[in-house]
Amino acid sequence: MPETVLLKGVRRYGEGEPVDVLAAEGVIAEIAQGITPPEGADVIDAEGHVLLPGFVDLHTHLREPGREDTETVATGSAAAALGGYTAVFAMANTDPVADTAVVVEHVRRAGEAAGLVDVHPVGAVTVGLKGEKLAELGTMAESAARVRMFSDDGLCVHDPLIMRRALEYSRALGAVIAQHAEEPRLTVGAQAHEGTQAARLGLAGWPASAEESIVARDCILAAHAAARLHICHVSASGTVDVLRWAKQRGTQVSAEVTPHHLLLTHDRLDTYDPVNKVNPPLRTGADAKTLREALAEGVVDCVATDHAPHAEQDKDCEWQAARPGMLGLQTALSIVAETMVRPGLLTWRDVARVMSERPAEIARLADQGRPIAEGEPATLTLVDPDARWTVRGAEFASIAANTPYEGMELPARVTATLLRGRVIARDGRIR
């Protein structure tokens, strides 16, 4: 049922004088100062808060089907809504793998049943993520799920012929191929960023060249196929150089960086705590600095969480046996505020670009990442820029609690999320 919501005293994109924003019938009906609340309207006092378009996450692991003990589409949707997200892309490495119309349609229906955010299934590039045979890309694209992003994330599409064919097919489908860039022959047994820290800790190294070489190869293939390529979770300085070169040549390549690669480094591995184990691994302070600068410059297009819930037994174990991945949906905005806004690398308007507008463009979502203007969809995120809060993984909406930020005090917090005029999250609770 349509809601009428009045946001009082907000600053659009963190700019200008405070205004009131009235949402009715799913759209922004009026923006002005001193709007009188209509009868029955839900009035949110948001004086001093920043109003942004709803966030879009191109890289989320919802674990359903197959690992509902760690996350479901419903619990992941709740975490997304609380984190300010209004659309998420659910990766294909489920069990069974999302490589057929049946599985992607199941994920889409589960998202619709949860009713909190728009859940877009990502289809696998290859059957079973094995990298040997193309999956049914056309069938998934034409299914009720309308898949427009394909990825074997968690594994690299390492065969150049398979990758070339995937790019060619994706062009015809109006889709994008999202690549987990990791040359597998260079990362056999890898456990941490290859460098002095890994050597000192006795951990097998994951060289940056394993990422850089695949990105360079795939940029060349994408250019020849005139297709769109998206690079997942960029982690290395050298990758930024390759992306800059490819974009200067006119290659249709986009890239994402995770919040954890903006903030955390391999120095955290001293404790051997598997909560810090992630793929690609945490790298050096110099890499993190380059990634922050690249995001500000636009060489790296957007922020994506790579939200990866894991059961306690898959993380509370010895390092070698632990699964890689971290929670990200409910902390992403705060990490971006800490690493990018506070140092002056991004304004709040820029945050809208890297967390909403650009991801929506990459995914070609017509109704997400829209301007905050009258007549536009009331799909919005309200942020208290002055808030301080302490991370407690057990309090998250996710079933899992594997956050590397446990106990950290972080700046800025999402206070409300609206999806097409409906308040889906407010003050840390799902509506």
Write out the catalytic residue numbers.
306
Cα atoms found within 13 Å of the Cα of residue 415, Cβ hemisphere only: 19
Residue 25 backbone zone (phi > 0: left; psi -120 to 50: alpha; other: beta): left
User: Is the distance from CB of 280 to CB of 233 less than 8 angstroms?
Assistant: yes
Q: How far apart are CA 322 and CA 36, in angstroms?
A: 55
Q: Apex CA 122: angle with CA 281 and CA 398, to 5°?
A: 65
Report how far apart, in Å, the C-alpha atoms of 15 and of each of 61, 121, 349, 377 are.
34, 35, 8, 20
User: Is the distance from CB of 43 to CB of 37 less than 8 angstroms?
Assistant: yes
Backbone angles phi, psi at 204, to 5 degrees: -65, 140
Q: Under 8 Å CB-to-CB from 403, ≥6 apart: which residues?
A: 275, 326, 327, 331, 391, 393, 396
Q: Cα–chain-centroid distance for residue 385?
A: 21
**Pairing outcome for strands 380-390 and 302-303:** unpaired
